[in-house]
Amino acid sequence: MPLRDKFDLTGKTALITGGARGIGRACAEGLAEFGADLALVDIHAGNLAAARAEPAEAWGVAVETYQCDVTDETAVVRLVDTVADRFGRIDILLNSVGITIWQDTVGMSLEQWQRVMEVNLTSTFLCCREVGRHMIERGGGSIISIASMSAHIVNTPQNQVAYNASKAAMIQLTRSLAAEWASHGIRVNTISPGYTLTEMTQTVPEHHPGWCERIPMGRMAEPDEIAGAAVFLASDASSYITGHDLVIDGGYMCW
């Protein structure tokens, strides 16, 4: 098969959590550009309403939106069943839900720690488990989770121990699933962005200059600069890649 054809996602369905804004939204647009139908999932009705407001021709593929708390096991089971029934298949799962809490460790409550772990890690496990069941039955698929360079380094000046730990655990979860499910034709990988201009980081513009000083490329990423990696890992162009963490950090980890 020509390499160009391996990027074609026509006829495939992608379920994207956190898919209505930020990195998830940018990845959704990228996957749609290469032909994948979309199931966009978000907990916020307003984000989903904005996605639904896009004219169908802007997406060029079938798009459905689903409001769901992906930390709720029952809700995730129902979500995956609903999407599978609607589209008849789930070929791609992109986990793009995440929160952070900036807090010194000695001041962090157990509730804060648990909330970050629940949103960043437990939701990824639940979505992988339920979509994994479906993919095993169908004989394959690609699962991609948005981790972070914070899985590899300790950020400065902000202290975010729970976020860093949750993203590191996400990578090990991914490697474990990659080994466990390889025989079922399921590939499982992570993307680890560096500082990216999303709704989350735009709330703290005062930190941008200090962050950019530590990035060899001298700037933060745009969300669509993460989307290309998602298309690659979702497609047959990456058919021999599993258990891998693809870092997109503008060179931050070089220094």
Domain with residue 22: its CATH number is 3.40.50.720
Q: What is the pLDDT of residue 118?
A: 98
**Range 15-39 average pLDDT:** 97
Residue 252 domain-assigned? Answer: no
Q: How many domains does the chain have?
A: 1
Grouping H, G, I as helix, E, B as strand and the rest as coil, residue 240 is: coil
Please identify every residue annotated as catalytic: 148, 163, 167
Residue 90 domain-assigned? Answer: yes
Look up residue 176 and give its two tokens.
């474990």
DSSP 243: S
| Neighbour tally for 2: CB within 10 Å | 7
Look up residue 215 and give its two tokens.
């990035």
- For 75-114, the pLDDT digits (tens) are 999 999 999 999 999 999 999 999 999 999 999 999 999 9
- For 142-172, the pLDDT digits (tens) are 999 999 999 999 999 999 999 999 999 999 9
Of the two residues 58 and 155, the one the predictor is more confident about is: 155
Put simply, whether the predicted model's pTM sits higher than 0.95 gets the answer yes
Q: What is the pLDDT of residue 58?
A: 84
d(CA 249, CA 215): 8
- For 137-149, the pLDDT digits (tens) are 999 999 999 999 9
Q: What is the pLDDT of residue 69?
A: 98
Length of the chain: 255
Please state, in angstroms and as integers, the Cα–Cα distance from residue 249 to each residue in 150, 175, 242, following that order: 10, 21, 20
| Crossing angle for the helix pair 123-138 and 161-181, to the nearest 10 degrees | 10
- Mean of all residue pLDDT scores within the chain: 97
Q: What is the pLDDT of residue 47?
A: 92
**Range 54-60 average pLDDT:** 83
Residue 254 domain-assigned? Answer: no
Domain containing 87 equals: 3-247
* Cβ-Cβ contacts under 8 Å for 217 (sequence gap 6 or more): 250, 251
Q: Where are the beta strands (DSSP E) in the chain?
A: 13-17, 37-42, 63-67, 92-95, 141-146, 186-193, 245-248
Residue 255 domain-assigned? Answer: no
Q: Any idea which of 46-50, 105-109, 126-130 has the lowest mean pLDDT?
A: 46-50
- Please check whether residue 187 is in contact with residue 178, taking contact to mean a CB–CB distance below 8 angstroms: yes
